[in-house]
Amino acid sequence: MQKSMKKILKFMFIVQSLFLYFAASTVYGGETPSVPGARVYFINIKDGQTLKSPFLIQFGLTSEMGIAPALADWPDTGHHHLIIDSPVPNENKSISNKHIHMHMGQTEITLKLTKGKHTMQMVLGDYSHIPHDPPVMSEVITVNVK
Protein backbone atom coordinates (compact mmCIF):
# COMPACT_ATOMS: atom_id res chain seq x y z
CA MET A 1 0.00 0.00 0.00
CA GLN A 2 1.22 3.47 -0.84
CA LYS A 3 2.37 5.70 1.96
CA SER A 4 -0.10 8.46 1.08
CA MET A 5 -2.95 5.94 1.07
CA LYS A 6 -1.94 4.76 4.52
CA LYS A 7 -1.98 8.36 5.73
CA ILE A 8 -5.45 8.90 4.30
CA LEU A 9 -6.75 5.73 5.93
CA LYS A 10 -5.18 6.66 9.25
CA PHE A 11 -6.73 10.12 9.03
CA MET A 12 -10.12 8.64 8.20
CA PHE A 13 -9.88 6.30 11.16
CA ILE A 14 -9.17 9.21 13.50
CA VAL A 15 -11.99 11.26 12.00
CA GLN A 16 -14.31 8.31 12.33
CA SER A 17 -13.37 7.80 15.97
CA LEU A 18 -14.07 11.45 16.74
CA PHE A 19 -17.27 11.30 14.78
CA LEU A 20 -18.50 8.25 16.68
CA TYR A 21 -17.56 9.88 19.97
CA PHE A 22 -19.37 13.16 19.33
CA ALA A 23 -22.28 11.80 17.37
CA ALA A 24 -23.07 8.72 19.43
CA SER A 25 -26.55 9.95 20.26
CA THR A 26 -27.38 11.32 16.81
CA VAL A 27 -30.16 9.54 14.99
CA TYR A 28 -29.31 8.72 11.41
CA GLY A 29 -31.79 8.40 8.64
CA GLY A 30 -30.89 5.01 7.29
CA GLU A 31 -32.09 6.23 3.94
CA THR A 32 -29.12 5.64 1.70
CA PRO A 33 -30.53 3.83 -1.32
CA SER A 34 -28.94 0.65 -2.60
CA VAL A 35 -28.72 -0.05 -6.33
CA PRO A 36 -31.23 -2.62 -7.60
CA GLY A 37 -29.57 -5.99 -8.15
CA ALA A 38 -26.58 -5.29 -5.89
CA ARG A 39 -25.60 -8.36 -3.91
CA VAL A 40 -22.89 -9.30 -1.39
CA TYR A 41 -21.56 -12.83 -1.17
CA PHE A 42 -18.82 -14.94 0.38
CA ILE A 43 -16.27 -15.52 -2.38
CA ASN A 44 -14.27 -18.37 -0.88
CA ILE A 45 -16.51 -19.92 1.77
CA LYS A 46 -19.60 -22.04 1.27
CA ASP A 47 -22.48 -22.92 3.55
CA GLY A 48 -21.65 -26.07 5.51
CA GLN A 49 -17.90 -25.82 4.92
CA THR A 50 -15.40 -27.10 7.50
CA LEU A 51 -12.60 -24.62 8.20
CA LYS A 52 -9.44 -24.60 10.21
CA SER A 53 -9.05 -21.45 12.33
CA PRO A 54 -7.60 -18.95 11.52
CA PHE A 55 -9.04 -18.69 8.02
CA LEU A 56 -9.33 -16.07 5.30
CA ILE A 57 -12.72 -14.67 4.31
CA GLN A 58 -13.07 -12.83 1.01
CA PHE A 59 -16.05 -10.53 0.59
CA GLY A 60 -17.72 -10.13 -2.77
CA LEU A 61 -19.90 -7.29 -4.03
CA THR A 62 -21.53 -7.29 -7.44
CA SER A 63 -20.64 -4.46 -9.81
CA GLU A 64 -23.81 -2.41 -9.26
CA MET A 65 -22.18 -0.89 -6.16
CA GLY A 66 -18.68 -0.08 -4.96
CA ILE A 67 -16.67 -0.15 -1.76
CA ALA A 68 -15.83 3.04 0.15
CA PRO A 69 -14.32 3.60 3.56
CA ALA A 70 -16.68 4.49 6.40
CA LEU A 71 -17.56 8.20 6.49
CA ALA A 72 -17.04 8.57 2.74
CA ASP A 73 -20.52 9.55 1.60
CA TRP A 74 -20.13 8.59 -2.03
CA PRO A 75 -23.12 7.49 -4.09
CA ASP A 76 -23.78 3.78 -4.55
CA THR A 77 -21.06 2.64 -2.15
CA GLY A 78 -20.74 1.04 1.26
CA HIS A 79 -18.41 -1.04 3.42
CA HIS A 80 -18.67 -4.65 4.44
CA HIS A 81 -19.79 -5.92 7.85
CA LEU A 82 -19.57 -9.46 9.13
CA ILE A 83 -22.24 -10.67 11.52
CA ILE A 84 -21.17 -13.76 13.47
CA ASP A 85 -23.53 -15.93 15.54
CA SER A 86 -26.07 -13.15 15.67
CA PRO A 87 -29.33 -12.18 13.98
CA VAL A 88 -29.40 -9.41 11.37
CA PRO A 89 -28.89 -6.05 13.08
CA ASN A 90 -31.77 -3.56 13.07
CA GLU A 91 -31.86 -2.37 9.47
CA ASN A 92 -32.52 1.26 10.30
CA LYS A 93 -29.79 1.65 12.88
CA SER A 94 -26.04 1.94 12.76
CA ILE A 95 -24.50 -1.54 12.88
CA SER A 96 -23.06 -1.88 16.39
CA ASN A 97 -19.37 -2.22 17.10
CA LYS A 98 -19.84 -5.75 18.43
CA HIS A 99 -19.93 -6.74 14.76
CA ILE A 100 -16.93 -6.65 12.47
CA HIS A 101 -16.70 -3.45 10.41
CA MET A 102 -14.38 -3.30 7.45
CA HIS A 103 -14.39 0.47 7.79
CA MET A 104 -11.30 1.05 5.70
CA GLY A 105 -12.95 -0.64 2.77
CA GLN A 106 -11.23 -4.00 3.20
CA THR A 107 -12.55 -6.88 1.12
CA GLU A 108 -10.91 -9.72 3.05
CA ILE A 109 -9.95 -10.52 6.63
CA THR A 110 -8.35 -13.38 8.49
CA LEU A 111 -10.63 -14.58 11.23
CA LYS A 112 -10.09 -16.67 14.32
CA LEU A 113 -13.11 -18.52 15.62
CA THR A 114 -13.57 -21.06 18.39
CA LYS A 115 -14.17 -24.69 17.50
CA GLY A 116 -17.71 -25.65 16.60
CA LYS A 117 -20.51 -24.34 14.44
CA HIS A 118 -20.84 -20.65 13.68
CA THR A 119 -23.22 -18.65 11.53
CA MET A 120 -21.93 -15.82 9.38
CA GLN A 121 -23.69 -13.17 7.34
CA MET A 122 -22.47 -10.17 5.39
CA VAL A 123 -24.26 -6.82 5.45
CA LEU A 124 -23.24 -3.75 3.49
CA GLY A 125 -23.44 -0.50 5.45
CA ASP A 126 -23.39 3.09 4.25
CA TYR A 127 -20.88 5.76 5.34
CA SER A 128 -22.51 5.89 8.78
CA HIS A 129 -22.70 2.08 9.16
CA ILE A 130 -26.42 1.86 8.44
CA PRO A 131 -27.68 -0.81 6.02
CA HIS A 132 -28.94 0.57 2.72
CA ASP A 133 -32.57 0.71 1.65
CA PRO A 134 -33.29 -2.03 0.71
CA PRO A 135 -30.45 -3.73 2.63
CA VAL A 136 -27.69 -5.53 0.75
CA MET A 137 -27.11 -8.73 2.71
CA SER A 138 -25.82 -12.22 2.06
CA GLU A 139 -27.51 -15.44 3.03
CA VAL A 140 -26.68 -16.72 6.50
CA ILE A 141 -24.12 -19.50 6.17
CA THR A 142 -23.06 -22.02 8.78
CA VAL A 143 -19.44 -23.12 9.03
CA ASN A 144 -17.85 -25.82 11.13
CA VAL A 145 -14.58 -24.69 12.68
CA LYS A 146 -12.06 -27.29 13.79
Interface ranges with Cu ion (CB under 5 A): 101, 125, 129
We find the least distance from the C-beta atom of residue 85 to Cu ion, in angstroms, to be 18
We find the least distance from the C-beta atom of residue 104 to Cu ion, in angstroms, to be 10
Judged by CB, which is closer to Cu ion: 30, or 125?
125
| Nearest of 141, 142, 139 to residue 117 by alpha carbon | 142
Report whether 27 contacts 94 (CB < 8 A): no
Judged by CB, which is closer to Cu ion: 129, or 132?
129
Judged by CB, which is closer to Cu ion: 59, or 145?
59
| Nearest of 17, 50, 41, 37 to residue 118 by alpha carbon | 50
Report whether 28 contacts 130 (CB < 8 A): yes
DSSP state of 92: T
We find the least distance from the C-beta atom of residue 3 to Cu ion, in angstroms, to be 25
